[in-house]
């Protein structure tokens, strides 16, 4: 099973990708995780990527494509994979198609979670994080017991640069301009499945599994 998750920032893609990974036991590949690791390591590409991410911009294709291509050739991807956060441009989508075709593979689904901009802004702009533990709070949905302090460590919570409202709005603008056209690309290929990302996590996962199970049954029947 080869699946892509798409949608605006903080729409819940990572959560759903993780749940599907647990169901199917295939790797979840997040370019965001790869980039954050590079940033934490202080590598040259990490430093370059940090500048783009802090400003709410997309990391250039040239930095992303080689990383993803190398990852897809690993042995654990032989039975399938879940892509979270890639492709983000039509150029990346076309490049991915070429890589898959080279290995005689194809995508099964592109799941897109839709959430209104203002809901995303409320979700993300209200987040606060404890620097040492990484524990995440939300001013409205999961506030700390003491304002501005981590419940566990007592340290001051921070408002990350990429959670600032102006940066979130900019990221949504970038998504609309650069990533949304990818949806049309996959729509034309008959791969796109659009889901309401504002319903419960369990409901969204249930809908996804219905599509996945149906496709699995079709493949089993074909093989039989």
What does the angle CA 81 – CA 83 – CA 85 come to, to the nearest 5 degrees? Answer: 170
Catalytic residue among 50, 123, 128, 171, which?
Answer: 171
Query: pLDDT digit string (tens) for 24-82?
Result: 999 998 877 777 777 887 877 788 888 888 888 878 877 777 777 777 877 888 899 99
pLDDT given for residue 224 in this prediction: 61
pLDDT digits (tens, 9 = 90+) for 104-122: 899 999 999 999 999 999 8
Q: Which of 28, 88, 123, 128 is catalytic?
A: 88
Q: Which of 28, 50, 123, 127 is catalytic?
A: 127
At which of 126, 159, 192 does a domain end? 159
Q: Are residues 149 and 173 in the same domain?
A: no
- Indicate the pTM of the whole model: 0.78
In this predicted structure, the answer to whether residue 141 has a pLDDT above a threshold of 90 is no
To the query of whether residue 88 is one of the catalytic residues in this protein, the response is yes
Residue, of 35 and 21, whose pLDDT is higher: 21
CA distances from 2 to 75, 165, 223 (A): 14, 34, 17
Give the range of the structural domain holding residue 29, as residue numbers without chain letter: 2-115+168-223
List, in sequence order, every beta strand (DSSP E) within the chain. Answer: 2-6, 28-30, 81-84, 109-114, 127-129, 136-138, 192-196
Q: Does 172 lie in the same domain as 137?
A: no
Residue 177 scores a pLDDT above 70? yes
């Amino acid at each position: 099973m080869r699946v892509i998750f798409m949608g605006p920032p903080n729409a819940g893609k990572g959560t759903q990708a993780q749940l599907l990974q647990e169901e199917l036991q295939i790797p979840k590949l997040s370019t965001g995780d790869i980039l954050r690791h590079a940033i934490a390591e202080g590598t040259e590409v990490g430093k370059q990527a940090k500048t783009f991410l802090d400003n709410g911009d997309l990391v250039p294709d040239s930095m992303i494509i080689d990383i993803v291509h190398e990852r897809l050739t690993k042995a654990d991807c032989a039975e399938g994979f879940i892509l979270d956060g890639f492709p983000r441009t039509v150029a990346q989508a076309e490049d991915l198609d070429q890589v898959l075709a080279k290995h005689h593979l194809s995508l099964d689904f592109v799941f897109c979670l839709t959430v209104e901009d203002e809901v995303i802004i409320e979700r993300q702009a209200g987040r606060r994080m404890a620097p040492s533990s990484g524990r995440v709070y939300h001013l409205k949905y999961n506030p700390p017991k003491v304002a501005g302090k981590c419940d566990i460590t007592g340290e001051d919570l921070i408002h990350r640069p990429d959670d600032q409202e102006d940066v979130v709005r900019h990221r949504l603008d970038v998504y609309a301009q650069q990533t949304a056209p990818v949806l049309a690309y996959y729509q034309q290929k008959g791969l796109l499945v659009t889901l309401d990302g504002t319903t419960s996590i369990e409901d969204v996962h249930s809908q996804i599994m219905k599509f996945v199970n149906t496709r699995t049954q079709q493949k089993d029947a074909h093989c039989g």
